[in-house]
Chain A
Amino acid sequence: MADEETKLTLIEKLGRVDRRIIFLVMALAVLIPLLVHYTTTIPASPIVQNLFDKVEILPSGARVLISFDYGPSTAPENQPMATSITRHCLEKNLRIYMISLWATGPRQAMELIDEVIKPEFPDKKDGVDWVHLGFKAGGQGLINTLLADFRAMYTTDVNGVSVDKIPMMEGVTSLKDFDFIYCIGSGQPGNKEWIQFAGDPGHIPVGGGTTAVMAPQLYPYYPKQTVGLLGGLQGAAEYEAALIARYPKYGDMSRVASEKMGPQVSAHLVIAAFIILGNVTFLIERRRRRKS
């Protein structure tokens, strides 16, 4: 009887544990795998593989618009996506046009240029193989403008060079001149706006990646309105896996998302344990209340 009372008190205690203990457990669940470099690989799911295959079949020289619609707050999820798609596009000799609907996007694009494009693809030239056009305000209004008249808003690139003097801008007058639009989004405006204001009215193939928060909401657009979707860090890791499977030479450098999946996995296990523990204590307390 005394043991049962002690056990019940323990259950009650577990059900009311200070949230700072939970915070500490969570912090350790993320910190320890980072310190021991625990990584994991995840094979590409159909929705990610579809996106990869779409980019894979684009012919050399095809125009790909990449929109950096995120900022530093979601860079841990979105930046690996940008890195993988850029490597894939430049490997395929596709021409990359970088723009942004978010004011914080250009900094992310510059980070990509400095850390991936310039060191890994020194033969690819600014203005010939890739161009950074920067941010313009307006959100969905901007997409609407670009669909009708691209050069009305983008008169120069970020360095102030007139678009008339940029070789790869020749023949680009509207979004319809692009072969694929890839949006790396994290909210509004983002993937949804690109589908609504560019993909559907302009009949332009749209795909992309988004934060895990937004990903489930974009599933209704797949596969007819978006060719594929990378959902969060897991999606980025899946795309990396698809890239490495097709181009093994990226095996060593293209594992940023996969390396971050280690803490992800341990934190998921902790959350799953919390859910189970929380419900077990709840069920035991409910049974005790019903008995009494």
Chain B
Amino acid sequence: MGLILIIAMFIPHDPFFDMDRKFSIYYDVIAVFAFILGGGNLLRVHLNKVYQKRTDWKYSIVTVAGFFLMLIAGLFKLGVHAYVQEGVQFSRWAADFQGTESLFKYLYDCTFQPLQSTMFSLLAFFVASASYRAFRAKTLEATILLIAAFVILIRPTPLGYYLTFWLPDPLAFLRVGNLSTWILAVPNMVGQRAIMIGIALGIVSTSMRLILGIERGYLGGES
């Protein structure tokens, strides 16, 4: 599989081109089964927890209830109606499952969306706490990190402007706005590029090991 895709890169004609195209489509379809597997696994874990009455088993009931409510609303397109398009009648099964009138969209808007947004927004508080309690200039390296972060942080603020706006034009590169742009475009870019090259080499070697069968950890141990 891997070899065919590599060959298709160098020989972009049939049969390799067609195989590349088909395998890409199959991969996309199989990815959906991975979602179903995830859902099934979730059910198995939480139903097991409820059955064995392990710690916090009552919350697992909430998980399972939420799961089935969303699943049934979506799979059966509850709330969705038949529609007419260009004079032709279409059944409700052909309608958008996320249409304005659907229960699925309603549940998404009042549960999934606020829960996901709020979960991520909690991180702002922990970042603030970390900045105060853990971010210390203990070494030269930590100081460089601190200075770079500080310049980036104050760039959009009035502090960033008033700190350096008075610098004459020959020293304009030291103004916070310009310095911040330079830090992102040069040292940040260089550091990220070095990491990127390192990761690329790692991925290439791992891919070769997978294709040649040297690496078989994804199979889950010896059969």
A and B directly contacting (CB within 8 A): yes
CA–CA, A136 and B133, complex, Å: 44
Tell me, rounded to whole Å, the shortest Cβ–Cβ distance linking A105 to chain B: 11
Closest A residue to B114 by CB, please name it: A72
> Which of A142, A201, A265, A270 has a CB less than 8 Å from the CB of B128?
A270
Q: Determine if A277 and B132 form an interchain contact, defined as CB atoms under 8 angstroms apart.
A: yes
Q: Determine if A282 and B136 form an interchain contact, defined as CB atoms under 8 angstroms apart.
A: yes
Residues of A within 8 A of B31 (CB): 137-139, 141
Q: Determine if B136 and A279 form an interchain contact, defined as CB atoms under 8 angstroms apart.
A: yes
Tell me, rounded to whole Å, the shortest Cβ–Cβ distance linking A227 to chain B: 15
Most B-side CB within 10 Å, residue of A72, A110, A158, A217: A72
B28 at the interface (CB under 8 A from A): yes
Tell me, rounded to whole Å, the shortest Cβ–Cβ distance linking A200 to chain B: 12
> Which of A73, A152, A271 has a CB less than 8 Å from the CB of B117?
A73
CA–CA, A72 and B121, complex, Å: 11
Residues of A within 8 A of B158 (CB): 265
Q: Which residues of chain A from 249 to 272 have any CB-CB distance to chain B below 8 Å in the complex?
A: 261, 264-265, 267-272
Residues of B within 8 A of A274 (CB): 128, 131-132
Q: Which residues of chain B from 117 to 139 have any CB-CB distance to chain A below 8 Å in the complex?
A: 117, 119-120, 124-125, 127-129, 131-133, 135-138
Q: Determine if A107 and B108 form an interchain contact, defined as CB atoms under 8 angstroms apart.
A: yes
Do most interface residues of chain B lie in helix, strand or loop, or is the interface mixed? helix
Number of interface residues of B (CB under 8 A): 57
Residues of B within 8 A of A138 (CB): 24, 27-29, 31
Q: Determine if B185 and A275 form an interchain contact, defined as CB atoms under 8 angstroms apart.
A: no
CA–CA, A74 and B121, complex, Å: 9
Q: Determine if A268 and B28 form an interchain contact, defined as CB atoms under 8 angstroms apart.
A: no
A93 at the interface (CB under 8 A from B): no
Q: A22-B128, A46-B181 are in contact. Are A275 and B157 (CB under 8 A)?
A: no
A75 at the interface (CB under 8 A from B): yes
Binds B, one of A1-9, A53-61, A117-125, A143-151: A143-151
Residues of A within 8 A of B184 (CB): 47, 216, 219
B63 at the interface (CB under 8 A from A): no
Q: A106-B98, A110-B98, A278-B136 are in contact. Are A268 and B157 (CB under 8 A)?
A: yes
A17 at the interface (CB under 8 A from B): yes
CA–CA, A74 and B105, complex, Å: 19
Q: A73-B117, A153-B25, A271-B131 are in contact. Are A265 and B156 (CB under 8 A)?
A: yes
CA–CA, A201 and B32, complex, Å: 26
Residues of A within 8 A of B117 (CB): 72-73, 75-76
> Which of A23, A161, A220, A275 has a CB less than 8 Å from the CB of B125?
A23
Tell me, rounded to whole Å, the shortest Cβ–Cβ distance linking B154 to chain A: 6
Q: Determine if A219 and B185 form an interchain contact, defined as CB atoms under 8 angstroms apart.
A: yes
Tell me, rounded to whole Å, the shortest Cβ–Cβ distance linking B110 to chain A: 12
> Which of A19, A42, A110 has a CB less than 8 Å from the CB of B129?
A19
B69 at the interface (CB under 8 A from A): no
Number of interface residues of A (CB under 8 A): 61
CA–CA, A142 and B26, complex, Å: 10
Q: A216-B192, A271-B127 are in contact. Are A152 and B21 (CB under 8 A)?
A: yes
Binds A, one of B54-62, B89-97, B211-219: B89-97
B201 at the interface (CB under 8 A from A): no
> Which of A148, A217, A220 has a CB less than 8 Å from the CB of B21?
A148
CA–CA, A12 and B127, complex, Å: 21
B112 at the interface (CB under 8 A from A): yes
What are 8 sample pairs from A and B whose C-beta atoms fall under 8 A apart?
A26-B124, A30-B124, A137-B35, A153-B25, A160-B96, A265-B157, A269-B157, A275-B150
Tell me, rounded to whole Å, the shortest Cβ–Cβ distance linking B22 to chain A: 9
A45 at the interface (CB under 8 A from B): yes
Residues of A within 8 A of B159 (CB): 269, 272
Q: Which residues of chain B from 1 to 47 have any CB-CB distance to chain A below 8 Å in the complex?
A: 9, 17, 20-21, 24-25, 27-29, 31-32, 35
CA–CA, A280 and B90, complex, Å: 69
Q: A73-B120, A141-B31, A152-B21 are in contact. Are A219 and B192 (CB under 8 A)?
A: yes
CA–CA, A139 and B129, complex, Å: 35
Closest B residue to A261 by CB, please name it: B156
